[in-house]
């Protein structure tokens, strides 16, 4: 385990380790990385290069070269197989394989994926997606990095999001939930085989931060993880996740609600102008809807969430892991009232 100061730093650490690992194992040309469209991976130069949001990157270009994008798993906007989740999952995973082959397997170091993609509005993986990606990475000797800055530590009901979908990555980048946000701490978990080149030689992973592994943040993390076990927070989320989904699904009767998607205690509600055609809002309409109304209205109604248009406009929900049906009902009632008013204002 390697500790750093935050999520973007954890992602940065993972890319640097992947590059050094291949250098030490005689494959220095393996340096490129692949991530998904609309994905957000952080603000440091390397992590920002992985990010698939052009507007966030533009002020800081040129960024680190050799980062490439593939389609994400938003089946609601699927260009192919929108009616068949398994076929769509294989299609999306195979785009990663194509990108590796196009760039040259001997030049690609890693694929960076979030278990449930945050930016764009909570895109869960289709059935079999991660298993297919794992097969592709193994075939081409490419590392699979799970960016779990959002999805680790109970958000999906498991300690790590990759566990939720039966995937074993080579590196897990984490932050946020390890301290429940009470103190800044991030890090990465690394498969044993990636440590081997460092175990027997003189090479070191010369990467660190002034406050990396800070004893106060580490103590907060240990106390937080003790609480996870004592309060059985993972079990609580697993027992209640289906009820959370079912409660949010009630909102589908509203004309402004196009899609409800996510997993565990992490959901996005995509808003549309026309449910039948899935027509989205223009940039000006989205600005007026989100910043002009929803942000303030939801906050004043007592629901602290994110109204976001990094992609199509969505409301994103990540409630405390202690929430139960009473809280779900309150969330649904607030959303129903505010979204109904938003539709009336259009």
CA 316, 321, 323, 328 dihedral sign is positive
Q: How far is CA 336 from CA 257, 306, 319, in A?
A: 10, 16, 17
Q: How far is CA 235 from CA 176, 228, 232, 268, 323, in A?
A: 20, 10, 5, 22, 12
Quote the pLDDT of residue 144: 98
Q: How far apart are CA 105 and CA 292, in angstroms?
A: 47
Res 296 pLDDT > 60:
yes
Q: Beta-carbon neighbour count of residue 84 at 10 Å?
A: 14
Closest CA to 289 of 262, 270, 303: 270
Confidence class for position 3, pLDDT limits 50, 70, 90: low
Copy the structure tokens of residue 311.
């992609």
> Where in the chain do CATH 3.90.1150.10 domains reside?
233-345
CATH dotted code for 233-345: 3.90.1150.10
Provide the percentage of residues in the chain whose pLDDT is more than 70: 98
CA 124, 127, 128, 129 dihedral sign is negative
> Where in the chain do CATH 3.40.640.10 domains reside?
2-229
Q: Would you mind telling me the total number of residues written for the chain in this entry?
A: 346
Quote the pLDDT of residue 1: 54
Res 310 pLDDT > 90:
no
CATH dotted code for 2-229: 3.40.640.10
Beta strand pairing call for 108-113 and 67-70:
unpaired
Confidence class for position 208, pLDDT limits 50, 70, 90: confident
Confidence class for position 179, pLDDT limits 50, 70, 90: very high
**Cβ 21 vs Cβ 194: under 8 Å:** yes
Res 334 pLDDT > 90:
yes
Quote the pLDDT of residue 2: 53
């Amino acid at each position: 385990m390697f500790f750093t100061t935050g999520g973007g730093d954890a992602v940065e650490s993972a890319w640097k380790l992947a590059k050094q690992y291949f250098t030490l194992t005689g494959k220095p040309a393996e340096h490129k990385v692949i991530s998904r469209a609309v994905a957000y991976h952080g603000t440091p130069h390397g992590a920002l290069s992985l990010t698939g949001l052009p507007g966030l990157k533009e002020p800081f270009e040129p960024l680190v070269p050799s980062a490439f994008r593939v389609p994400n798993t938003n089946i609601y906007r699927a260009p192919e197989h929108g009616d068949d989740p398994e076929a769509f999952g294989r299609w999306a995973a195979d785009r990663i394989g194509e990108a590796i082959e196009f760039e040259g397997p001997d030049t690609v170091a890693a694929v960076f994926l979030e278990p449930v993609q945050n930016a764009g509005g909570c895109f869960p993986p289709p059935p079999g997606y991660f298993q297919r990606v794992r097969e592709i990475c193994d075939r081409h000797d490419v590392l699979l990095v799970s960016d779990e800055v959002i999805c680790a530590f109970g958000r999906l009901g498991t300690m790590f999001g990759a566990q939720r979908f039966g995937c074993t990555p080579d590196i897990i980048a984490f932050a946020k939930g390890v301290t429940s946000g009470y103190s800044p701490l991030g890090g990465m978990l690394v498969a044993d085989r990636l440590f081997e080149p460092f175990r027997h030689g003189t090479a070191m992973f010369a990467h660190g931060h002034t406050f990396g592994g800070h004893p106060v943040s580490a103590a907060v993390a240990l106390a937080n993880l003790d609480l996870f076990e004592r309060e059985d927070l993972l079990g609580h989320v697993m027992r209640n996740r289906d009820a959370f989904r079912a409660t949010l699904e009630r909102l589908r009767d509203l004309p402004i609600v196009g899609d409800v998607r996510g997993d565990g205690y992490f959901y996005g509600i995509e808003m549309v102008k026309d449910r039948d055609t899935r027509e989205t809002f223009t940039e000006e309409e989205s600005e007026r809807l989100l910043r002009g109304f929803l942000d303030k209205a939801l906050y004043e109604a007592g629901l602290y969430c994110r109204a976001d248009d990094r992609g199509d406009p969505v409301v994103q929900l990540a409630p405390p892991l202690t929430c139960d049906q009473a809280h779900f009902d309150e969330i649904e009632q607030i959303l129903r009232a505010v979204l109904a008013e938003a539709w009336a204002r259009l």
